[in-house]
A and B are shown apart, each in its own frame.
Chain A
Amino acid sequence: MRDQIILQTIIIRTLVSVFLFTPLSGHANSDKVFTAAGAHSTWVIMDKIKPALEKMNGQKITLFGKQSMLGVGCNAGIKSTLQSSDKQESFGMVCCPLSDAEVTKKNLIVYPLALEPLMILSHESNPITNLDVKQVKAIFSGEITNWKQVGGENKSIVVVTRLHCKKRPGHWKTILDSADKFTTKRINVQSADEMVKRVGDFKAAFGHAGTAWLRGEDSRTKIIRVNGFLPTRTNLKNGNYPFYRELAVITNKEASEKIKNLMRSAQKETFKSADLFSEHQLLPIDPAKH
């Protein structure tokens, strides 16, 4: 299974590279297609507003990001941006707020779109339904190792993490700000899909994933309330839910005004079309306030 996933990842990355970075002679003009690649959660937003953006800007957009659970994540978004050229303009989709250093070094402009709550997941059979922030952090750090310590069954907690984009702020760092603070007795997965499957496999599992990743009806996971609140955009907006990450699109600073306008349009359209993302519990960011 793991081999299969790696193989799929290689194929998809190759396809993305081919589509993104091969000059398209047929579109070597201002009417060319914009392409984008990157994180799945941001792809969810862009995919929903794409028709409006294309209508608004009069240009076709091709998005690669649906399979981001396979590893086509933020790094692919940044790479897509850096490879942009006059012949083939592209932008990136990221699921983490980039550090100032990285933005400066790579000469990027970040256009935040929305905040995504991070779900705290356990096996569906786990009787625990709520934990406070401290307990969540203690479990991830390894201070709490048995469910009975939080009122559950006498089972060792199986911590499952996905500590991606370790040098970037935000996301899982809203739980523990450093990977070193996570318990070493854990398993670390490479995608949201694996996260959901691992947590579903072990009755004592404990993990995290963005709300944009729909777990599916057959998933054997459930969402643990934090401080009594579910990871909804309302709770996030009200400041009741503590764990989240920032979704954004990025461009080169030297990118054409056309693509920059497209990014700005994306921000506006995301904010304007908030209802489109209710299922995924994404909280659009007001571009005027950013």
Chain B
Amino acid sequence: MFKLATFRSRLVFYILLVSVFLGVALGMSFWHTQNILLNEANQQLLRTSRLLDTYLAEERSELERYVGIVRDNLRLQEYMYVVTEINAEREPLDKVFLQQFGWLPIDERILTDMDGEIISGNTSDTIIQASELTRQNDIKIQYIHTRDGLKLVASSPVHYLDKTLGHVVLSQTYDTDKLRELEDISKGRLFITNKNIVSLSTIPSLFGKPMTTQVRNLSVMNDDLILTQIKIDDVLNKDIAFYFGVSEGLLLSNIIQFRQLIMFIIIFGILGILVLGLFFLRDFDKPIKKLLAMTNEVAEGKLPSTTKVIPRNEIDFLSNNFSDMINSLREKQTLISKAQSELELLAITDTLTHLYNRRHLLEVFPKLQAQARRDNSPLAAVIVDIDHFKAINDEHGHLAGDQCLIEFSALLRSHSRTNDYLFRLGGEEFLILTLGETTDGVHAVAEKIRKATEQTPVQYRDVRIDMTISCGICVEYPTDDKEQSLNSLLLHSDNALYLAKQTGRNKVIVHLYEDGEQQKINP
């Protein structure tokens, strides 16, 4: 029965409650985390774009710094002066330019005179184009789109002796390798557009595609990119724009992975709780049931057999303690039973001779009478009296008398048969009750006892005490009246004993009925 009041039910309820709570908590966590992840992704996009912005700004700043280093080099200024103003050969200038600034981490470098003619350095078309543009606009740093790709170009005029000799122009190239490097850093996609058309990308299919600041999402190679534009405000050429995008698919795959993880935790968490709960319930339920059964048996007065277990928990301790308690009860019960048996024995036996007493005669006679009735067999009673017992007491003392009684009882016990009931009726008077025996048989037994008594003197200290007994026998078929039957048996036996006493003692007399029969006829 499932009752909420039981601890078992409560335990089941708590397990279910914990499982539901876990499921709900993790489920809510999952749904909210999905939103958090998406928000975080957008924040991350902005942060990364800002980082890229900073990175690109630092690159521009670094290139400007390099331009400054070249521009301020006095030796280079002198050599430019010699070349531009004195028309000396350019070789020393080239050498100095290479020796002094070959280490700069740039892709291209040139020195131009005031007419824009290159007087030293690389002479590729792109940097010529770049230098013309920067010179004409007198700008320090610029992104320029050329046939070779995007160039970051920095330039500065070179002065010597208050005269402007020309310009130093340095550039760095943005190609797909460079973009890939930046993409590795930013973990996203980087595009460069020229006049809103993708002009540089690591994805070939993007080349030539239109792109505006309004575009927030872009589908590329079965993947959606979330886009943001990178601010580059410190350059003049606004045609060039940098875009940074992160893969929505990558974000979603993260979310899916997170979802799978959460689902895994939910399923296995709940399963784990349930399995553990069941195990716990089983471990809890089994000993409790066993205890309950034992207590029921104890309540019914039984003392069930118990086995102790290696205690691992409170219930094991309780069970073991209960076993100890039952074992203790069992021991007490054994003692009580033994004591009771002893008491019962004491109640029905004579303390001196250990023969049954008159009280037991009253208890046992109805059974014998009933059996005799069932078997239709006679009951025989032999009353035995020690002759002149008073004289023994008087002559040798009561202790000697008691000794005579003890030894006679032993003799009586040894000469009687197993189905004979032996009683001490009182004083020196004893009774033998036997079932289903003929008068002759009973007489033979009585005679045997008489003779044995006569031939077995009692040795009390140094005194030999000879004893004789007189026996009165009565053999009757009992009637239904138990009291009358017993009284009849005892009366007739006692009459026979009286006759034996009267006729000289030390003899066995069988009661004779009025019809002269030794045995009363079965009524």
From B85-93, B246-254, B260-268, B342-350, give the one contacting chain A: B85-93
Separation of A204 and B93 alpha carbons in the complex (Å)? 13
Closest to B99 in A: A1
- Give the distance in Å from the alpha carbon of A203 to the alpha carbon of B82 in the complex: 12
Residue B74 at the chain A interface, CB threshold 8 Å: yes
Please determine whether A2 and B73 come into contact, CB atoms closer than 8 angstroms: yes
Report the separation of the CA atoms of residues A170 and B235 in the bound assembly, to the nearest whole angstrom: 55
B191 located at the interface, meaning its Cβ lies under 8 Å from any Cβ of chain A in the complex: no
- Out of A1, A155, A184, A189, name the residue touching B88 (CB < 8 Å): A155
- Give the number of residue pairs across the A-B interface with Cβ within 8 Å: 40
- Separation of A145 and B74 alpha carbons in the complex (Å): 23
Chain B: interface residue total (CB-CB under 8 A): 17
Cβ contact within 8 Å between A158 and B86 = yes
**The residue from A159, A185, A187, A204 contacting B89, defined by CB atoms under 8 A apart:** A204
Give the distance to chain B from A183, nearest Cβ to Cβ, in Å.
9
Decide if A202 touches B82 in the complex (CB within 8 Å).
yes
B interface secondary structure, majority: helix
Residues of B within 8 Å of A2, CB to CB, are 73-75
Q: Is the CB of B86 within 8 A of A157?
A: yes
Contact A1 B100 (CB under 8 A): yes
> A178 to chain B: which residues have CB within 8 Å?
none
The one of B73, B81, B87 that contacts A156, using a Cβ cutoff of 8 Å? B87
Contact B82 A187 (CB under 8 A): yes
Q: How far, in Å, is A184 (CB) from chain B's closest CB?
A: 8
> How many whole Å from B46's CB to the nearest CB in chain A?
41
**Given A1-B100, A187-B81, A202-B82: A158 and B74 interface contact (C-beta under 8 Å):** no
Residues of B within 8 A of A3 (CB): 73
Most B Cβ at <10 Å: residue of A184, A198, A202? A202
Q: Which B residue sits closest to A2, measured CB to CB?
A: B74
A1, A185, A201, A205, most chain B CB atoms within 10 A: A201
B78 beta carbon closer than 8 Å to chain A? yes
Asked if B86 and A185 make an inter-chain contact with CB atoms under 8 angstroms apart, the answer reads yes
**Least Cβ distance of A262 to chain B in Å?**
39
CA distance A158 to B74 in the complex (A): 16
* 236-250 of chain B: CB within 8 A of chain A: none
Q: Which residues of A sit under 8 angstroms from B79, Cβ to Cβ?
A: 201
Given contacts A2-B73, A201-B95, A203-B89, 14 further A-B contacts (CB under 8 A): A2-B75, A3-B73, A145-B86, A155-B88, A156-B86, A157-B86, A159-B86, A184-B161, A187-B81, A187-B82, A201-B79, A202-B89, A202-B92, A204-B88
7 nearest A-B pairs in the assembled complex, by CB-CB distance: A201-B92, A2-B74, A187-B78, A156-B87, A158-B88, A156-B86, A2-B75
- The 28 sampled A-B contact pairs (Cβ below 8 Å) are A1-B75, A1-B100, A2-B73, A2-B74, A3-B73, A145-B86, A156-B86, A156-B87, A157-B86, A158-B82, A158-B86, A184-B161, A185-B86, A187-B78, A187-B81, A198-B78, A201-B79, A201-B92, A201-B95, A201-B96, A202-B82, A202-B88, A202-B92, A203-B88, A204-B86, A204-B88, A204-B89, A205-B88
